[in-house]
Structure 1
Amino acid sequence: MPYVTVKMLSGRSDDQKRALVEKVTDAVVETTGASKEKVVVFIEEMEKSHYAVGGKRLSDE
């Protein structure tokens, strides 16, 4: 049973997340041969204030 975690900044619409889950699932099925019903996709959303690059939070830019 493949598990995929997608980490991204919050702010995407439900339609965008739905499309992402569908495409990620299809890619896993195509490349691994797993059945679609066995693919699990987790979306972890992060706030800009909880994410930093180069010592600066993205919310501070």
Structure 2
Amino acid sequence: MPMIRVEMFAGRSAEQKKTLIKSLTKATSEAIGVSEASVDVVITEVAKENWGLGGEPASEKFPD
């Protein structure tokens, strides 16, 4: 059973996450020939201040 892990900044809507899960599930199912029911998707949301990019917190590079 394939598992897809997505780490992304917090703040996306439930609908956006639902769309992402559906799209990743469908693409994986088609690409490797497994049923959609066997694909797991786990989304981990990370606060920008806990994500570093090029030596700086993402919260400073991408302020809201």
Q: Shorter-chain-normalised TM-score: which range?
A: over 0.9
Structure 2: stretches of 5+ with no match in the other structure: none
Q: Count how many residue pairs are aligned between Structure 1 and Structure 2.
A: 61
Q: CA RMSD in A?
A: 0.8
Name the aligned partner's letter for residue 53 of structure 1.
L
What is the TM-score normalised by the length of structure 1?
Answer: 0.94
Residue number in structure 1 paired with 2:35? 35
Q: Give CA deviations for 1:6-60 in whole Å, capped at 9, x if unaligned.
A: 1110110000000000000000011011111110000011100100111110112
Name the aligned partner's letter for residue 17 of structure 2.
K
- Counterparts of 1:37 and 1:58 in 2: how far apart (Å)? 35
> Would you say 1:58 and 2:42 are equivalent positions?
no
- Counterparts of 1:54 and 1:28 in 2: how far apart (Å)? 31
- Counterparts of 1:32 and 1:57 in 2: how far apart (Å)? 36
Structure 1: stretches of 5+ with no match in the other structure: none
